[in-house]
Amino acid sequence: MNELERIEAQSLREAVVLCGGQGEMVGGAMCVRHPRVPWMELNRAIVLAQAVDLDAIASWFHGPHAIATCDDELGRALASRGYERARSWMKFERDAAPAPTAATEARIEETMDATLLGELVGHAELGAIAGAPGWRCFIALVDDVPAASGVLYADGTSAWLGVAFTKEAFRGRGLQSALIAKRIEAARALGVTLLTSETGELVSDHPGSSYRNLRRAGFREAFLRANWTAPV
């Protein structure tokens, strides 16, 4: 099993379950769903096994979902079932080298305030990860105003970075670069040697700011993974 996929899938399951959803291995994929948070990120399957049962996966969801896979043959099978290919995500990886300096006007702090985190990302349920085992949640404050978030999930020597959100009024001010650097240093302190994250592939009509932020922080492109959305 690919370790980059494993740690992302585990963090996803832990987050969704903590937030009141469901997550389990079904048909060779980690499947998660959250009835009150309609984000594709929280209603999808990450394929982890070579043998995949698409009928079992579709039956488990009973509704809108996406399936993430790097397997072209599986992609053709999904297309034949009416799934549509959405924007792919680039998986990134990084070792435990020190984080590059990220200049910012913001103050970066760790938070265990579930209400604050939930309000910042726009869904109260997601605040449940704040202070939970394995999770480190950080926010950027500009003049004491919560402006951006970023979280770290660590398991052994692997860690995943996600839940990167910046309020529109504070975008373009280096907050995410500072949050990435803070999480890299937090991971290093935990003994992590492999870090991973993901964001949308570079395409002409998307700015790719998250992509550039990860590259500047020392992350390398690992592989491109397709997202297939279920037929309505």
pLDDT tens figures, 10-64: 999 999 999 999 999 999 999 999 989 989 999 999 999 999 999 999 999 988 9
Give CA–CA dist 91/111, Å, rounded.
27
Are 8 and 153 spatial neighbours (Cβ–Cβ below 8 Å)?
no
d(CA 208, CA 117): 24
Tens of pLDDT, residue by residue over 62-75, are: 889 999 999 999 99
pLDDT tens digit sequence for 45-55 = 999 999 999 99
Over 90: is that where the pLDDT of 184 sits? yes
CA 79 distance to own-chain centroid: 25
pLDDT tens for 124-137 read 999 999 999 999 99
Whole-angstrom distance, CA of residue 127 vs CA of residue 122: 9
Q: Is the distance from CB of 92 to CB of 197 less than 8 angstroms?
A: yes
Q: Cα separation of 205 and 211, whole Å?
A: 14
What's the whole-number average pLDDT of the chain? 96
Structure tokens, 194: 């492999």
Residue 70: name the closest of 55, 82, 58, 52 by CA: 52
